Structures are given as structure tokens and as C-alpha cells.
């Protein structure tokens, strides 16, 4: 439920996800006054979501491009600024962790969880 801050005239002046200060009013998501405020401020949840997803996809493309350039010896990792190096190393580590977790909980083509199948076999669930 969003929380709104009102101005001197009683209109919505700001919207918060959490009650970060005293005096905020909880309003339902479908409150007409809230929806009008969001519309007037140009906030569009669906557009923002699409834009964010686009940014995340582009970040992945740029990571892959950098890997290709380094692999083809068109550039060296050390050519990047230190902050960029740290971010890429961090992302690379996260990608490895997610790939590992995905392998652990992989679902086969028929939609069965391999871990559950292996557990049942170990417990004598199969004849």
C-alpha cells in the first residue's frame, strides 16, 4: 500500500512505498487521487518496467561484447577503468553463482525436478 504526503491544500505532494516519516497517509493502490497524481507526474509503471528490463538486457550484451573484445585481444581487461573492472568481476561472480544454482535445481524436459527424482530413487521409491 503506498503512502502519500499531502501539501498545504490537501493535494498529494509525494508518494512513498514505505512510511518513512510521520504524517504520511496510507492509500489504496487504486485511489483515484493517487492515480491522477502519478499520471500528472509522468510515472508509468509498465513503461518503467520495460525500460528497466531493456537496460538489464543491454548490460548483458555489453558484458558479452567486452568478453569478446578481450577474447579477440582487441582490448585488455586492464584497459578498463578500475571501477568498471570491479563491476565486471562482481557481475561475473554473480553469473557463475546463478548458473551453479540453476544447475542444482534444473528441471528436465518433462518438467520433473531431478533432485526429487534422485531422492526418491535413494529412498527406494522406484522399483
Please write the tens of the pLDDT for every residue from 103-117.
777 655 555 544 444
Considering only residues 8 and 97, tell me which one the structure prediction assigns the higher pLDDT.
8
Please write the tens of the pLDDT for every residue from 26-43.
999 899 998 888 887 776
Q: Are 49 and 43 in contact (CB under 8 A)?
A: no
Cα 69-98-71 angle, rounded to 5 deg: 15
Please write the tens of the pLDDT for every residue from 4-17.
999 999 999 999 98
**Helix, strand or coil, per DSSP, at residue 52:** helix
> Mean of the pLDDT values across residues 66-78?
95
pTM: 0.45
Beta bridge partners of 26: 3
Given this model, what pLDDT does residue 1 score? Answer: 87
Burial class (CB in 10 A: 0-12, 13-18, 19+), 45: exposed
Given this model, what pLDDT does residue 105 score? Answer: 72
Q: Are 78 and 84 in contact (CB under 8 A)?
A: no
Nearest alpha-carbon partner for 108 in 100, 98, 116: 116
Amino acid at each position: 500500500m503506498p503512502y502519500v504526503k499531502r501539501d498545504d491544500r490537501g493535494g498529494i505532494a509525494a508518494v512513498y512505498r514505505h512510511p518513512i516519516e510521520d504524517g504520511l497517509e496510507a492509500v489504496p493502490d487504486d485511489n483515484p487521487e493517487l492515480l491522477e497524481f502519478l499520471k500528472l507526474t509522468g510515472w508509468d509503471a509498465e513503461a518503467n518496467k520495460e525500460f528497466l528490463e531493456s537496460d538489464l538486457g543491454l548490460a548483458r550484451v555489453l558484458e558479452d561484447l567486452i568478453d569478446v573484445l578481450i577474447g579477440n585481444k582487441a582490448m585488455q581487461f586492464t584497459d578498463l577503468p578500475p571501477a568498471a573492472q570491479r563491476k565486471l568481476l562482481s557481475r561475473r561472480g554473480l553469473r557463475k553463482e546463478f548458473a551453479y544454482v540453476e544447475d542444482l535445481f534444473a528441471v528436465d524436459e518433462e518438467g520433473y525436478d531431478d533432485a526429487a527424482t534422485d531422492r526418491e530413487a535413494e529412498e527406494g521409491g522406484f522399483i
